Chains A and B, each alone.
Chain A
Amino acid sequence: MIRVSHLKKVFFDKKRGKIEAVNGIEFHCRKGQIFGLLGPNGAGKTTTLRILATILQPTAGEVLVNGFDVVKEAHQVRQSIGFLSGETGLYDRFTPRETILFFGRINNLPDEEISSRMKEIFHILGMESFQELRVDKLSTGMKQKLSIARALIHNPRVLIFDEPTVGLDVITARIVLDYIKEFKNQGKCIIFSTHQMREAEKLCDQIAIIHEGKILSTGSLADLQQKFQENDLEEIFFKLVPVKVEDKL
């Protein structure tokens, strides 16, 4: 469902010059699988996911999502994906019902279909009680549920989650992770970025450790444990990503 080959993304900054945010990464993710991109801040996770979501254009390489090229067939790619990031990206002055109606419509769904899917999603996520409240009156957990509902309204086959638990309290983060597992059971292809080892350990079928725009190692948790003769993912991570003296300071 997702195939990334030789992906490169270069940014130019007046002060810092050429920045290789993503430098030749490759991976693939199948239907019913959770693929985790594990790496520190600035590793290239968000850039990779934004390219997958067609928000950014790759400098080189090929990315296929649900069989469509992110550059040449961006429109079809957008039909196939649901995108969610740590920033909830919601409009404060709208209610959850209005939010979902708007996002359903801009994804070309007819109103009847939006209504029935909204009812179903609100029921699954337990959102009925606050569907008529304005977003600025909702708690963080409620907002994150709404963000999930927004990403799901057009029933995408691929879900792209960019650090979806950042800034959430333990309970809300748990709810989000439980839903991600549930989507996997529904046969969706999920790509998910995090810098938290525990999340990656518990959730991902495949983990790619990414650092400075490069994938240092990929495989299932068991594969990585065997390869590095180490049970703890955090230890594996630090074997791959050396901590520099200035980082410690």
Chain B
Amino acid sequence: MNWNNIRLIYLKEIQGAIRDRRTLISMIVIPLIFYPLLFLVIGYFSVLGQKNSEAQPSAISIIGAENATQLVTLLKQDKDIEIISSESEANPEHELMEGSIHLTIQIPDMVEENYAGESKTTPKPIIIEYDSTAQRSQTARKRVLILLEHYREGLIRVRLNKIGLESDFLEPFQEQWLDLAPQEKKVGFLLGSILPHFIIILIFVGAMHSAVDITAGEKERGTMATLLVSQLSRLEIVLGKYFSVMTISAVSMFLGLIGLSIALLVPALLLGETFLAGVHFSTTIFFLFLLTLIPLVGLASSILILIGIFARNNREASTYITPIYMIAIFLAMISLSQGIELAKPLFLIPILNNSFVFKELLIGTIDKTHLFNTVVSNLLLALLALRAATRMFQQENVLFRS
């Protein structure tokens, strides 16, 4: 085996990939331009929509205002609430669903006395109508909920006073909750739920096109035979191609992560959010992240190369890759669910192990057994797949399948 020959194939494949518009689009345009733009636009409009709806007053219609004057006074005093009279008092629901009114309150007869405990009959409920699919109706609901709470507290005070009790009667103790998780861990926890999934998708998607193009694609275009009659050994050809796929996969993942960071940071900066302010990972975590990432890139590349060598042409290779990709996505998705603890032997399952180890590392947990199982199982499987690819590349019935 001559490393210079491997280098020649490697450089040829990398040069070819750089000149391929499709590779450039999937490697650079999508992660660096498309993702941030998508996140930016979606994030911007959703936050803007929320802010807009909070900046505007909520239009509320009250039926039976005379039955609860204190409540109505509270509502009227709130500058974010505008009491409007419904044009069709009998049917304000219509205006609510149309959006001209954001919430309706129907107060039954004789309530205030009932609520204050002056009547023995069970009070009828106050009916509040809103539209959960409309942002402004949601905002109106939040505002009214706060006011209702004040109203309720006021009434309870009245009731307590009547029987000679103080308002702290209902609060035998005070409590204070403190979140000890540092900002770094909080951000890590949040990133840990989306990042592993994202990384695994990027590794596969980035390498997929190139891996198929330089294996099945070469067969299809008839260029493979010219390599086979050269001085290169078959092992050198496979290794050169393999390392190039690994590089492309790693670069697209790296660019994807930059794209994702831009996507998360830019809207946050524009809107003055400080979500990522506390992000700082130690060198050890960063190193361990890389240590688990490289075997994963190696495994994905070897599987893609193996499929590409086996397939007759690009189309066939894509057909074989689709279920493999779906399995990878499925395994990565398991880590999206909160609260699942993986048993130690399950850390031998590729992709699943990575997604959980990434999650652990992001919140600063270093579990040596998990790391060892992950790295060793992925490396072994990558080597097995690479060996199978090399063997297959030596079989003429695979190389010249028709």
Binding site for B on A (CB under 8 A): 11-12, 50, 53-57, 75, 78-79, 81, 83, 85, 87-94, 98, 102-103, 105-108, 150
Contacts and interface: CB of A to CB of B under 8 A. Distances in A.
B400 A53 contact: no
A108 B233 CA distance: 12
27 contacts: A50-B400, A53-B229, A54-B228, A55-B228, A55-B396, A55-B400, A56-B396, A56-B400, A78-B231, A79-B231, A85-B222, A87-B221, A87-B225, A89-B222, A89-B223, A90-B223, A91-B223, A94-B15, A98-B15, A102-B12, A103-B230, A105-B8, A106-B5, A106-B227, A106-B232, A107-B230, A108-B231
A83 B225 CA distance: 9
B91 interface: no
Given A55-B396, A105-B8, A83 B226 contact: yes
A90 B12 CA distance: 13
Interface of B: 5, 8-9, 12, 15-16, 19-20, 221-223, 225-232, 396-397, 399-400
A111 to B, nearest CB: 12
Ranked nearest first, the 4 interchain pairs of A and B with the lowest CB-CB distance are A87-B222, A93-B19, A89-B226, A106-B230
Given A55-B228, A81-B229, 8 more contacts: A11-B397, A54-B228, A55-B399, A78-B231, A89-B225, A89-B226, A93-B15, A107-B231
A216 B8 CA distance: 44
Contacts of A108: 231
A102 B225 contact: no
B293 to A, nearest CB: 29
Contacts of B399: 55
A150 B5 CA distance: 18
Nearest to B233: A75
A206 to B, nearest CB: 23
A57 B20 CA distance: 35
A34 to B, nearest CB: 20
A53 B228 CA distance: 9
B335 to A, nearest CB: 38
Contacts of B226: 83, 89, 103, 150
A79 B232 CA distance: 11
Contact of A85 (B5, B15, B225): B225
Nearest to A92: B221
A55 B222 contact: no
A54 B396 CA distance: 11
Nearest to B399: A55
A89 B231 contact: no
Nearest to A9: B396
Contact of B229 (A12, A83, A93): A83
Contacts of B227: 106
Contacts of B222: 85, 87-89
B350 to A, nearest CB: 32
B252 to A, nearest CB: 18
B231 to A, nearest CB: 5
User: Which among A56, A75, A91 has the highest number of chain B CB atoms within 10 Å?
Assistant: A91
B30 to A, nearest CB: 20
A55 B225 contact: yes
User: Which among B15, B19, B222, B225 has the highest number of chain A CB atoms within 10 Å?
Assistant: B225
Nearest to B18: A93
B16 A91 contact: yes
A53 B396 CA distance: 13
A24 to B, nearest CB: 20
Given A53-B229, A103-B230, A106-B8, A93 B20 contact: yes
A210 B62 CA distance: 99
A93 B16 contact: yes
A85 B228 CA distance: 13
Contacts of B19: 93
User: Which among B226, B228, B396 has the highest number of chain A CB atoms within 10 Å?
Assistant: B226
A85 B12 CA distance: 22
